[in-house]
Chains A and B, each alone.
Chain A
Amino acid sequence: MVTSECVIVGGGPAGLSAAKELLEAGARVTIIDRNERLGGQLIKQTHMFFGSEKQYASHRGIDILEYLVNDLAPYGDRLEIRTGTTVAAIYQDKVLGCLKDEKYFKIKAESVIIATGASEKALPFENNDLPGVYAAGAVQTLMNEYGIKPGQKVLMVGSGNIGLIVGYQLLQAGIEVKALVEAADRIGGYLVHASKLRRLGVPVLPKTSIKRAIGKDAVEAAEIWSLDENWQGIPGTEKKLDVDTICIAVGLSPLTELLQQTGVRVEYVRELGGNVPLLDEGYRTTVDKVYACGDVANIEEASSAMVEGRITGIHAARDLGHEVENAGFRIKALQHELYDLRGGPPGEKVRQGIKKREVLA
Chain B
Amino acid sequence: MIERDGIASENMVKAEFPTREELERPKAVIECYKRIPCNPCETSCPFDAITVGEDINDRPVIDFDKCTGCGICVFNCPGLAITVFQINDDEVLMKIPYEFHPLPEEGDDVHVVNRAGERITKGRVHKVQAGRRQNKTALIHLSVPADYLYDAITIEVIPFEE
Contacts and interface: CB of A to CB of B under 8 A. Distances in A.
Interface in B4-46: 4-8, 31-40, 43-44
Interface string B74-114: 00111111000000000000000001110000000000011
Nearest to A203: B5
A75 interface: no
A318 interface: no
Nearest to B40: A58
A58 B77 contact: yes
Nearest to B5: A204
A335 to B, nearest CB: 15
Contacts of B56: 51-52, 340-341, 343
Question: Chain A contact residues (Cβ within 8 angstroms of B): what range?
Answer: 35 or more
Contact of A345 (B35, B80, B117): B35
Question: Which of A51, A57, A199, A344: most chain B CB closer than 10 A?
Answer: A199
B160 to A, nearest CB: 15
B35 A192 contact: no
A186 to B, nearest CB: 4
A345 B34 contact: yes
A202 B157 CA distance: 13
A160 interface: no
B6 A204 contact: yes
A346 B99 CA distance: 25
Contact of A195 (B31, B39, B100): B31
Given A195-B81, A345-B34, A186 B4 contact: yes
A185 B4 contact: yes
A147 B4 CA distance: 32
Nearest to A192: B79
B61 to A, nearest CB: 16
Contacts of B34: 190-192, 345
B137 A197 contact: no
A361 interface: no
A138 interface: no
Interface string A275-319: 000000000000000000000000000010000000000000000
Interface string A48-63: 1111110001111000
Nearest to A304: B37
B154 interface: yes
A26 interface: no
A342 interface: yes
A57 B40 contact: yes
Given A47-B78, A343-B57, A344-B57, A192 B36 contact: yes
A70 interface: no
B4 A57 contact: no
Contacts of B44: 58
Nearest to A205: B5
Nearest to A191: B34
Question: Which of B33, B34, B56, B57: most chain A CB closer than 10 A?
Answer: B56
B137 A48 contact: yes
B6 A194 contact: yes
A73 to B, nearest CB: 23
B91 to A, nearest CB: 21
Nearest to A200: B117
Contacts of B6: 187, 191, 194-195, 197-198, 204
Given A171-B157, A342-B37, 19 more contacts: A57-B38, A58-B44, A172-B100, A172-B101, A186-B4, A194-B6, A195-B8, A195-B115, A196-B79, A198-B115, A198-B117, A199-B117, A200-B117, A200-B154, A201-B118, A204-B5, A344-B35, A344-B57, A347-B57
Interface of B: 2-8, 31-40, 43-44, 55-57, 76-81, 99-101, 113-118, 135-137, 153-154, 156-157
Interface of A: 47-53, 57-60, 171-172, 185-187, 190-206, 303, 340-347
